[in-house]
Amino acid sequence: MTNKIHKNLLPRIFAGGREKVLVYANDLSFCAKKLKDKGYSVKKSYPYLNAVYCECSGVQISDLNFDVSVNFVMPDAEVFAMTELTREIVGIPSFTENGFTGKGVTVAVIDTGISSHLDLFSPFKRLVCFKDFVNGKDYYYDDNGHGTFVCGVLCGNGFCSGGRYRGMAPDCNLIVLKALDYKGVASTSDILDAVEWIIENKNLYNIKVVNMSFGSDPLGINDPLSKAAEALWRQGITVVASAGNSGSGYNTIKSPGINPYIITVGASNHHNSIRIKNHSVASFSSRGSGENYIFKPDCVAPGVDIISLGTDKIYVTKSGTSVSAPVVAGMVALIIQRFPQIPPDTVKAIIKNYCEKLSGDIYAEGSGEINFN
C-alpha cells in the first residue's frame, strides 16, 4: 500500500459501507471522467484544488491507490466539525430561525486577502470589492491563507458541505482589503491606507462592520492602529478586533484591541462541548490589566480548533483570537440586519449584555463568552 491513501482511511477500506473522499489529480477533467466511467459516485469537482469529491466503497478506495491519474485521497470527515459547533455555542440558530443571515450588511475585512473558495463564491459571489494595498494587484488573491480563513468564519455559506458548515453571517456582503503580505505581516501605513479607503468608500458600499484580525505591540496613547480603529468607530462603523495571542499574562492586549471604543475579542476553548460551563478562556488569549486601565477584552468567543476555509485544502483548522474576532463580527452583522440604524456603541452594549461568565476574570474574558441562546 503506497501513501496515496490518507492513513485515516485505511481502516475503513475493510470496514464496509461507503465513504466520502476527496480525490486529488493533476488532470481534473480526465480523472473525474475516469472515476465516473468506473462507477464512482462523483458529487462535485473543485478546479482550484484539482480535486474531485466522491462517494465510494472501501474496495473503490483501495483501487484509487493504484490509479496513475490519482495523486492522493483524503477523507472529508476529519475536517468537518467545529464551525457548526461554534454556531451552536454563540446562538446563531436563534438568528437564522428568524430569517437573519447578514443579508444587506457589508463587512470589510482587513487581512491577507481572499481566495476563490466555493464557500464564498458559489452559488453567488458575496465579494463586492477587493483592494490590494501590498502589491497593487487588481485581482483578488490570498498568498497566506489567513484572510480566507477569517472570511470563512465570518460568512462562509457551507457550499462544499451542502450548507451544513457555515460561517456566522453567510449572506452578508464582503469587502476584502489586503494589507498583510504573504507572511501575514503588515506595515502600519498599509493598515492606515486600508482604513482611509474604508472611510472614503463607506457610503458607496454601505460598510457597517470592519474586522481586524491582527495586532501589534501597543505604542501608547497615540498608537496609530488604535487611533485608526477609533476613527472608523466615530464614522458609525462597528469595529471588531482580536485581543492577541500573547496570554496568559496580563497587560498583553495588542493594538488596535487596546482601544476602549471598539469591540475587542479574546478566545475561549469549548473543549468539544456546547455547554458553557465546560468552557474556559484559551491559555494563549491576551489579557488586559486594570493597573494600566486596559479593561479588555470586551468578550470572548470560540477560538480553539476551529474549522474554516483553506487555500490548499477545502477546510483547515486554526486557533487564535483572530479566529474569535470574525465570530463576533458575523454576529454584529446579524444585529445590524435586524436594526439597520443601530450605532456602534449600542451594538457593543448588546454584545456585552449577551455574554456568560466563564471564570469571572474580567481582564481575561471581559463580559464573558458571547451567547445568544
**What is the rounded radius of gyration, in angstroms, for the C-alpha atoms of the chain?**
21
Q: 3-state class of 295 per DSSP?
A: coil
CA 9, CA 75: separation in Å to the nearest integer?
A: 6
* Cell of residue 143, nine digits: 498568498
Catalytic residue among 146, 171, 255, 286: 146
Q: Average per-residue pLDDT in the chain?
A: 87
List pLDDT tens digits, range 8-51.
Answer: 677 766 666 777 777 878 887 888 888 888 888 888 776 745 77
CA 147, CA 179: separation in Å to the nearest integer?
A: 10
Whether residue 9 contacts residue 21, with contact meaning beta carbons closer than 8 Å, is answered with yes
Residue 20 parent element (H or E) = strand 18-24
Amino acid at 64: L
Mean pLDDT across 258-279: 92
pLDDT value of residue 14: 67
* Cell of residue 59, nine digits: 474496495
Closest CA relative to residue 256, chosen from 237, 241, 266: 241
CA 357, CA 329: separation in Å to the nearest integer?
A: 20
Name the burial class of residue 180, with classes exposed (0-12), middle (13-18) and buried (19+) by CB atoms within 10 angstroms of its CB.
buried
Torsion of CA 323, 327, 330, 335, to 10 degrees: -150
CA 257, CA 241: separation in Å to the nearest integer?
A: 6
Amino acid at 308: S
pLDDT value of residue 346: 97
**Residue 45 annotated to the active site:** no
pLDDT value of residue 345: 97
Mean pLDDT across 233-246: 95
Distance, CA of 174 to chain centre: 13
List pLDDT tens digits, range 204-236.
Answer: 999 999 999 998 887 666 677 888 899 899 999
Question: What pTM value is reported for the model?
Answer: 0.77
Distance, CA of 5 to chain centre: 29
pLDDT tops 90 at residue 341: yes
Catalytic residue among 285, 286, 322, 324: 322
pLDDT value of residue 61: 79
pLDDT value of residue 82: 28
**Residue 111 annotated to the active site:** yes
